[in-house]
Amino acid sequence: MNLCFLGSSVTLGATSLETSFAEYIAVRNNCTYVKEAVSGTTLADNDKTSYIQRMVHNIDPNAQFDAFICQLSTNDASSAIPLGEISSSRNLEDFDTKTVLGALEYIIVYADTTWHCPVVFYTGTQYDSPAYGKMVEQLLKLQEKYEIGVIDLWNDAEMNQVSEEDYKLYMFDGIHPTQAGYLNWWTPKMEAYLYDYLGQ
């Protein structure tokens, strides 16, 4: 399989020597992959480093991917990017990409029409951010509209029952996993979802 990962610091592995679930999934499952990840970047299309700009300009439109996997960025929440509204349209030109939801819809439709592969988003695990919680809620509504995959670590009961001791081992801070966190906590959950969703 050939996978494409789009994201920011969590996808990059900013607090784990730039090794994230992307590398672990690839090695453990004999996959090839593209990882387009830059720390501090947003879904909302506000500058040349946004998810949308990097997706359009840095990822080969002629590549053959078996899945396109995108991070629901925490940076939009911390930067107070407007959430926006889910559009009644499915056309790229109709989405307000300066908002979180407009950007998400743009990414979904662009990825689907460019690479013709399953589109999957993943959320972070829970941390103190009501704004991010609202983003997760709306992502699940987009799942209904577009039938995308969502690896919902935010609402995962098993993930949220981790012991305080393990949490300290697994997370550098409330957002970023350590290498142990990626390998032992996030990757198995993401692998299981992808195996099921992609029918592997």
Tokens of 96: 């307000």
- Provide the pLDDT for residue 183: 96
- Provide the pLDDT for residue 199: 80
What are φ and ψ of residue 199, in 5° steps?
70, 35
- Provide the pLDDT for residue 200: 56
Query: Which residues neighbour 145 within 8 Å (Cβ) at sequence distance 6 or greater?
Result: 86
- Provide the pLDDT for residue 88: 96
Tokens of 101: 């939801």
- Provide the pLDDT for residue 45: 97
Helix axes 130-146, 100-115, angle to 10 degrees: 40
Q: Are 42 and 81 in contact (CB under 8 A)?
A: yes
Local mean pLDDT, 10-residue blocks, the chain (200 residues) = 97 96 96 97 97 98 97 97 96 97 98 98 97 98 97 96 96 96 96 88
- Provide the pLDDT for residue 81: 97
Tokens of 80: 């107070």
